[in-house]
Structure 1
Amino acid sequence: MASTQKRPDGRWRARYRDAAGKEHARHFSRKIDAQRWLDEVTASVVTGRYVDPKAGKITFAQWFEQWAAAQVWATGTKLKAEQALAAATFRDSPIRSILPSQVQAWVKGLSARLAPATVKVYYNIVSSAFRAAVTDKVIAENPCVGAKLPRERRREAAMTIPTPEQLGKALKAAPDWFAPFISVCAFAGLRLGEAAGLQLGDVDFLRRTISVSRQIQGSTKAEAEVVPPKHGSERVVFVAEELIQDLAQHVQAVGVFGKEQWLFGYGGAYFNRNSAADRWKQVREASGIGTFTLHDLRHFYASGLIADGCDVVTVQRALGHAAPSITLNTYSHLWPTAEDKTRTAGSRLIAAVLGDSADSVRTAGTSAQ
């Protein structure tokens, strides 16, 4: 129900009731303006874009915290969400007043001090919060739509992979108690947190497998906690006999600790992100191999599988990616190109037809030039 009525002071009062029976009213100097407002409200109701004018008065931070409390997030995702909110320059503004230009300015500011991948993570979280506000009829539109994000470097340019020689130097420079930790990252493709979370029972010395069923999350000893692996990352990795022997020697010489029988740690505690990275930094400096990260050892493992002819699904399962598309997006540049395959297939066809004479044809062609 909607109506307009002229008040004693000469202004026009426009009012309507929403679906919940709540009355909303505004005052205008001209009747045509009052009617136009009612028409706009009616149109928004018909098209499903109606929002309660008072709902958007809450700040973005208030809405974000309300929305985040209902999400089922892993600890790492929750931390990223908190960081995204803290970085949002419009967090204290009424959510209905936030403009696309403000979001774009925020993205630009982030881009000046953060990596493109981090900016994208923050943007996606904030955009999800706005999108939920649209769904709940708090605001009519998501101001994040259309924002331009900083370009990320091409993966082949951004990815760094140590050579076998560099990795060999690192293993020689590493203390005996830390070298096996490096090995499970480089020769089983485990993430830092997954390697830190290994227990004796995860290694099947007879079947030569390593089960990834937990990870350590957190950057400090106080923050570190045992959590399930990333979504889709729980897996069994089939590893080389040499790595199994390396781990067996580690257990015999160094031992395990705690009732859980943790394989790796420092100072009587399992590794966290900082403690493992600090030990690795010492190894890097001692071996002079540069600034490779422990995650680069995971890339080393993936590149080895691909170079040996493993298909996408095999690499995906070994690395614990949730879907083959993630593997392709990350490592597509390491697979042989169509041109390489075409040349190799052509050579095999020629050899199949001509046999040894194929070599003589190539030789003759070369001598004639």
Structure 2
Amino acid sequence: MAPLRSLFRSAVAEKRIPESPVALASLPKIKTKRLDEKSLPDWKAVRDIADKIRPDWAISVWLMAGCGLRIGEVLAVRQTDFESGMLRLRRQFVRVKRADGYRAELAPLKARDEGEWRDVPVPSYVWLAVERHVAQHGIGRDGYLLHAHHGGEVLDSNYRTDFKAAVKKAGYGDEPWTAHTLRHFFASSAIAGGVSLLEVSRWLGHATIQITADIYGHLTPDAGGRLRSVMDQVLTGVSVVGAESEDRAGSVLSPGVK
């Protein structure tokens, strides 16, 4: 809609048409679907998939599950992108159709402009996996961790096919898991472990925290319990729990009752 509106504005400015036919058009609201955490793999299933995927691509499973990367991002990771426990993402691979077929080409990160980047913490387990991968499989001709047999870039469609086959080989063929499921695994695990939505949103690279909250907000651990504790403290001036909190809250909300 944005480029379409821009096109018609230019046509109006150049007096090619009297007015824009889309000036008052409203965009449909896209409903964000909440994640069903019970549909996700556990750590054992993640390990099983990593064991069954192509050995030189197994590192991708740990990067997506441990750092929350998208497929295009993990395909564009270089060894030099790691520093001091962080992974700096600058680019992603996208599939583009050319005259000679589909090719993987570099593009800015999703929801980012050219030159923008984001940092993601790298768990020590994932970093050890990266070191092991480099030692055993080396890197591609342009420095990418993941590469095709000929040393070039990996098409996301080829990766998806291989990932789906690995899920089946690992004994989870009835599960609707895709490579993107590992990104959900990362986010849900982080939030359930107490990491704030703001931090998770930043590391996922979401355009807004609202997107993160809509998908994962219900996973915040013991939100109801923390709210009760906070409000008890606000209403009584004392941090209290259990039956005592009911007595104190009652005295505040009903001043006439002693």
TM-score bracket for the superposition, by shorter chain length: 0.7 to 0.9
Residue 46 (structure 2) pairs with residue 167 (structure 1):
yes
| Structure 1 segments unaligned to the other structure (5+ residues) | 1-123, 355-369
Residue 157 (structure 2) pairs with residue 262 (structure 1):
no
SS of the residue 1:349 aligns to = coil
Evaluate the alpha carbon distance shift between residue 135 and residue 255 of structure 1 in structure 2; reply closer, same or farther with a 3 A threshold.
Answer: same
Residue 93 (structure 2) pairs with residue 210 (structure 1):
no
Q: Is the 8 Å Cα contact of residues 255 and 263 (structure 1) preserved in structure 2?
A: yes
Q: Which amino acid aligns with 2:143?
A: Q
Query: What is the deviation of 1:283?
Result: 0.7
Percent identity between matched residues is 23
TM-score w.r.t. the length of structure 1 is: 0.53
The residue aligned with 1:8 is none
SS of the residue 1:269 aligns to = coil
Give the Cα separation in 1 of the matches to 2:38 and 2:28. 20
Give the Cα separation in 2 of the matches to 1:275 and 1:256. 18
SS of the residue 2:211 aligns to = helix
Deviation string, structure 1 residues 210-267 (Cα, Å, up to 9, x no partner): 1111111116773311223224461121111111000000000111121x32110222
Give the Cα separation in 2 of the matches to 1:215 and 1:240. 21
Q: Is the 8 Å Cα contact of residues 197 and 214 (structure 1) preserved in structure 2?
A: yes
| Structure 2 segments unaligned to the other structure (5+ residues) | 234-238, 246-258
From 57, 71, 78, the equivalent of 1:199 is 78
Query: What is the deviation of 1:301?
Result: 0.7
Q: Which amino acid aligns with 2:79?
A: L
The answer to which structure, 1 or 2, has the higher relative contact order (CA under 8 A, 6+ apart) is: 2
Q: Is the 8 Å Cα contact of residues 69 and 204 (structure 2) preserved in structure 1?
A: yes
Which stretches of structure 1, 4 residues or longer, exceed 6 Å deviation after superposition? none
Give the Cα separation in 2 of the matches to 1:200 and 1:148. 41
The residue aligned with 2:34 is 155
From 241, 244, 258, the equivalent of 1:350 is 241
Structure number, greater radius of gyration: 1
Evaluate the alpha carbon distance shift between residue 333 and residue 131 of structure 1 in structure 2; reply closer, same or farther with a 3 A threshold.
Answer: farther
Give the Cα separation in 2 of the matches to 1:272 and 1:203. 23
Residue 164 (structure 2) pairs with residue 287 (structure 1):
no
Task: Indicate the RMSD between aligned Cα atoms, in angstroms.
Answer: 3.4
Evaluate the alpha carbon distance shift between residue 226 and residue 143 of structure 1 in structure 2; reply closer, same or farther with a 3 A threshold.
Answer: closer
From 173, 186, 195, the equivalent of 1:310 is 195
Query: What is the deviation of 1:173?
Result: 2.1
Query: What is the deviation of 1:331?
Result: 2.6
Deviation string, structure 1 residues 44-95 (Cα, Å, up to 9, x no partner): xxxxxxxxxxxxxxxxxxxxxxxxxxxxxxxxxxxxxxxxxxxxxxxxxxxx
The residue aligned with 2:104 is 224
Give the Cα separation in 1 of the matches to 2:203 and 2:75. 18
The residue aligned with 1:121 is none
The residue aligned with 1:323 is 208
Query: What is the deviation of 1:171?
Result: 2.0
Evaluate the alpha carbon distance shift between residue 162 and residue 219 of structure 1 in structure 2; reply closer, same or farther with a 3 A threshold.
Answer: farther
Give the Cα separation in 2 of the matches to 1:210 and 1:185. 12
How many residue pairs get aligned? The number is 228
Query: What is the deviation of 1:166?
Result: 2.6
Evaluate the alpha carbon distance shift between residue 223 and residue 333 of structure 1 in structure 2; reply closer, same or farther with a 3 A threshold.
Answer: same
Q: Which amino acid aligns with 2:208?
A: A
The residue aligned with 2:9 is 132
